[in-house]
């Protein structure tokens, strides 16, 4: 269906308006969107203009609160009840979408404009087979009778490279993985060959390996379509991999816009520069650089600065920046490169003036130092819930082998990074070490003392030596206590300090995590996400722990906030000599902060070594695939295209031989299915668990080699 089918559907005869014969794409001019609240009208998106040509993928990047989702919802006329389009025009192939009546808009939805949403797990109707959800698009918009619509659904599933499409079509949402569901949603969105496709963070909820597969699919698939694509994301790496042009939106206004290479290689706005500088890179780490941070906060729509809206956070601000709002102007050089910075020429000449990225001093060799934590052969099996009566009678108790024989060692003032896809067992391992979960077997030693298995059995002086920072600060801080009280709690419980001493110590801790003193008396809801996480870090440091376990501590935050927290963690480690166990699915963050990295898949360790060794060949094929999937914010980045297909097998029915063999892109043969792979020592404690000899891995993993 590469030909446009609209004429054949006879729609135009019933419409008062017509899409132009010649497709001209999406054209947004001076769009302003307002939310009416009890207090005020908030102009959340202001005077945004952008064009997307047919067949072009336009990336709209911004942090949370930048108005990117509001913009998308305004374009499709699907704003919440208190939202209103205050001004501007939105034209799609010549038709002004803002002029259409409600009923007309509904006819445009699904046929001319389609959308793919963020969370595939909640965007698919749970009580209808997925094939039917594609087929109804074909029935309603393409007017196909039932059997043909069903065939169309299977055709679309084939198109999104679903294996066994006919079977999948009969499945329900709960029977499919997130990656499969996102394919279904893409299939739905492309069924009618729309003029405009809006994708709102379509891969954010997915694992990095799944994300890579979906991004490949989207890029390859869209090259066949003449659809204009608005791709919304906060991830600069995804934009660099996928998009033709990019717009950077900040607090509801466009800051910079241009072709992908122009914006990434020669950014002309300090905000773009700041964002790119905040993203950790895989070629340097905490010992080489301090990440760039953007101080301050995104301004609220009812409290905007008079001049440039980025001025209060800009390093290169001048007096003139604060007096008048600079317009979006065309810079010379590459065509269509626009910037809202009046100092763009200065920025191009001396970008250093605009960032805080700094080179750091020399570092210690990461193989020395006392061992702080040693986990030996830790196993954690969970019983499967809802075991059938028959299984019980037969004496079979299926178990989830969440952690299955993992040993790691963390040295003093080092960071051990643990990476793996979701469900690989990394969090369970951390919880066993922290004593929140009773390990099924294995030993955990802290400074050569064997730790009792659970927190309840650990005495106070052991408890204070291991502290934890969790992923979601909203859930880990008591909303009814002031944040100061939360930080004071471990001091009173574990260190038995007097009131005055506690007060003094809390102040010190707040200073150490760069929070102003008056924050001590605030409640969690008065703080931003990044600030709350700083409080959680202060609380963890309150007892001067020897080991701090950070379980995805930055994953729910914006990139610039992530950068400042990573800098803070690195700085605190430098001054206090604390060891970290840093768990994350974000490879770049792990690479930045870790001295050593352990790679986990299905409850087992597959590769361990210094951060540099793990990130350069030879690598375990799983590590290689993770790294190859990582979206790097550089359109010229050269990465081998190693992709993992299929879903992570369940930890109940673990594959025989090498557990990774069903998905391994470098499987060598029967040996992988039958025998457990051996550990091979590469160098300096860099070890890989694989049947392929190290020398062969080096050869295979050269860039460009296959």
Q: What residues make contact with another protein under the rule CB under 8 A?
A: 76, 78, 106-111, 113-115, 117, 119, 122-128, 136-137, 140-141, 172, 174, 185, 188, 386, 388-389
User: Min. distance of Cβ 232 from another protein in angstroms?
Assistant: 14
Contact 510, 519 (CB under 8 A): yes
The answer for 206, left when phi > 0, alpha when psi is -120 to 50, beta otherwise, is beta
Which of 233, 428 has the CB closer to another protein?
233
User: Min. distance of Cβ 124 from another protein in angstroms?
Assistant: 6
Question: Phi then psi for 95, rounded to 5 degrees?
Answer: -95, 130
Biggest CA-to-CA distance, the chain? 82
Which of 21, 126 has the CB closer to another protein?
126
User: Min. distance of Cβ 76 from another protein in angstroms?
Assistant: 6
Which of 132, 374 has the CB closer to another protein?
132
Which of 333, 398 has the CB closer to another protein?
398
Which of 119, 216 has the CB closer to another protein?
119
- Which regions of 308-456 does DSSP assign to beta strands (E)? 329-330, 338-339, 358-359, 371-383, 399-411, 415-419, 441-446, 449-450
Q: For residues 606 and 672, what is the distance between their CA atoms, to the nearest angstrom?
A: 14
Q: For residues 532 and 392, what is the distance between their CA atoms, to the nearest angstrom?
A: 46
User: Min. distance of Cβ 25 from another protein in angstroms?
Assistant: 20
User: Min. distance of Cβ 595 from another protein in angstroms?
Assistant: 41
**Could you give the dihedral angle defined by the CA atoms of residues 468, 472, 477 and 480, in that order, rounded to the nearest 10 degrees?**
-170
Which of 113, 429 has the CB closer to another protein?
113
Collapsing DSSP to helix, strand or coil, 351 comes out as: helix
Compute the Cα dihedral for 222, 228, 232, 233 and give only its sign.
positive
Burial environment of residue 323 by CB neighbours within 10 A (0 to 12, 13 to 18, 19 or more): exposed
User: Min. distance of Cβ 97 from another protein in angstroms?
Assistant: 13
Q: Which residue has the tokens 């051996």?
A: 678
Which of 140, 221 has the CB closer to another protein?
140
The closest alpha carbon to 286, from 119, 144, 417, belongs to 417
User: Min. distance of Cβ 190 from another protein in angstroms?
Assistant: 12
Which of 133, 560 has the CB closer to another protein?
133
User: Min. distance of Cβ 38 from another protein in angstroms?
Assistant: 14
- Consecutive H or E run containing 388: none
Q: For residues 285 and 376, what is the distance between their CA atoms, to the nearest angstrom?
A: 28
Q: For residues 354 and 362, what is the distance between their CA atoms, to the nearest angstrom?
A: 25
Residues 184, 187, 188, CA angle at the centre, nearest 5°? 90
Which of 197, 347 has the CB closer to another protein?
197
Which of 108, 549 has the CB closer to another protein?
108
Contact 117, 186 (CB under 8 A): no
Which of 73, 426 has the CB closer to another protein?
73
Which of 78, 679 has the CB closer to another protein?
78
The closest alpha carbon to 405, from 230, 654, 592, belongs to 654
User: Min. distance of Cβ 111 from another protein in angstroms?
Assistant: 6
Q: Residue 537's CB: how many other CB atoms inside 10 A?
A: 25
User: Min. distance of Cβ 74 from another protein in angstroms?
Assistant: 13
Contact 548, 541 (CB under 8 A): yes
Q: Which residues pair with 375 in a beta bridge?
A: 408, 444
User: Min. distance of Cβ 165 from another protein in angstroms?
Assistant: 19
- Which regions of 151-301 does DSSP assign to beta strands (E)? 196-200, 228-233, 245-250, 253-259, 289-290
Q: For residues 656 and 644, what is the distance between their CA atoms, to the nearest angstrom?
A: 18
Q: For residues 176 and 131, what is the distance between their CA atoms, to the nearest angstrom?
A: 12
User: Min. distance of Cβ 125 from another protein in angstroms?
Assistant: 4
């Amino acid at each position: 269906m590469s030909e446009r089918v609209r004429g054949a559907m006879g729609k135009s005869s019933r419409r008062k308006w017509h899409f132009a014969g010649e497709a001209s794409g999406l054209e947004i001019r001076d769009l302003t969107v307002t939310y009416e609240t009890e207090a005020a009208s908030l102009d959340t998106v202001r005077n945004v203009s952008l064009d997307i040509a047919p067949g072009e993928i336009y990336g709209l990047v911004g942090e949370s609160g930048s108005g990117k989702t509001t913009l998308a919802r305004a374009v499709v006329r699907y704003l919440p009840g208190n939202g209103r389009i205050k001004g501007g025009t939105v034209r799609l192939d010549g038709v002004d979408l803002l002029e259409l009546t409600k009923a007309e808009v509904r006819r445009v939805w699904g046929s001319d404009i389609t959308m793919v949403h963020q969370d595939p797990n909640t965007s698919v109707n749970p009580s209808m087979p997925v094939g039917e959800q594609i087929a109804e698009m074909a029935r309603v918009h393409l007017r196909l009778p039932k059997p043909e619509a069903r065939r169309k659904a299977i055709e679309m599933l084939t198109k999104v490279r679903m294996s066994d499409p006919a079977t999948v079509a009969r499945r329900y949402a709960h029977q499919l993985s997130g990656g499969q569901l996102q394919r279904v949603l893409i299939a739905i969105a492309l069924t009618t060959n729309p003029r405009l496709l809006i994708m709102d963070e379509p891969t954010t909820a997915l694992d990095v390996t799944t994300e890579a597969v979906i991004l490949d699919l989207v890029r390859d698939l869209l090259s066949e379509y003449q659809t204009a694509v608005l791709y919304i994301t906060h991830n600069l790496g995804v934009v660099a991999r996928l998009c033709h042009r990019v717009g950077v939106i900040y607090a509801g206004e466009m800051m910079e816009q241009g072709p992908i290479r122009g914006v990434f290689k020669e950014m002309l706005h300090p905000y773009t520069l700041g964002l790119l500088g905040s993203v950790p890179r895989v070629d340097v780490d905490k010992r080489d650089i301090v990440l760039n941070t953007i101080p301050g906060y995104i301004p609220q729509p009812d409290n905007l600065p008079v001049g440039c809206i980025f001025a209060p956070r800009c390093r290169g601000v001048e007096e003139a920046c604060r007096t008048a709002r600079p317009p979006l102007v065309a810079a010379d050089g590459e065509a269509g490169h626009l910037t809202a910075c009046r100092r763009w020429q200065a920025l191009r000449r001396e970008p250093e003036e605009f960032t805080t990225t700094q080179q750091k001093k020399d570092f210690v060799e990461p193989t020395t130092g006392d061992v702080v934590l040693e986990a030996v052969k830790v196993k954690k099996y969970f019983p499967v819930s809802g075991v059938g009566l028959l299984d019980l009678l037969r004496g079979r108790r299926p178990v989830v082998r969440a952690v299955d024989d993992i040993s790691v060692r963390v040295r003093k003032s080092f960071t051990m990074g643990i990476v793996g896809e979701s469900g690989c067992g990394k969090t369970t391992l951390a919880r066993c070490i922290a004593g929140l979960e009773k390990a099924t077997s294995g030993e955990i030693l802290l400074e050569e003392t064997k730790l009792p298995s659970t927190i309840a059995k650990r005495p106070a002086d052991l408890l204070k030596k291991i502290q934890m920072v969790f992923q979601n600060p909203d859930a880990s801080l008591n909303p009814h206590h002031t944040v100061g009280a939360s930080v004071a709690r471990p001091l009173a419980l574990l260190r038995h300090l007097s009131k005055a001493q506690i007060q003094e110590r809390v102040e010190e801790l707040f200073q150490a995590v760069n929070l102003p003193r008056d924050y001590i008396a605030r409640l969690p809801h008065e703080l931003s996400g990044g600030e709350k996480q700083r409080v959680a870090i202060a609380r963890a440091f309150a007892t001067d722990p020897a080991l701090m376990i950070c379980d995805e501590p930055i994953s729910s935050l914006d990139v610039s906030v992530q950068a400042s927290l990573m800098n803070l963690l690195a700085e605190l480690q430098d001054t206090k000599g604390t060891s970290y166990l840093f768990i994350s699915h974000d490879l770049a963050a792990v690479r930045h902060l870790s001295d050593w990295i352990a790679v986990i898949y299905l409850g087992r360790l597959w590769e361990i070594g210094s951060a540099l060794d793990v990130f350069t060949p030879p690598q375990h094929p799983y590590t290689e695939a993770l790294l190859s999937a990582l979206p790097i914010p550089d359109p010229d980045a050269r990465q081998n295209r190693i992709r993992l297909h299929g879903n992570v097998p369940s930890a109940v029915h673990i594959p025989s031989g090498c557990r990774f063999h069903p998905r391994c892109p470098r499987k060598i043969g029967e040996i992988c299915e039958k025998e457990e792979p051996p550990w091979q020592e590469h160098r300096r404690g860099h070890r890989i668990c694989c049947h392929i000899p190290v020398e062969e891995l080096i050869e295979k993993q050269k860039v460009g080699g296959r």
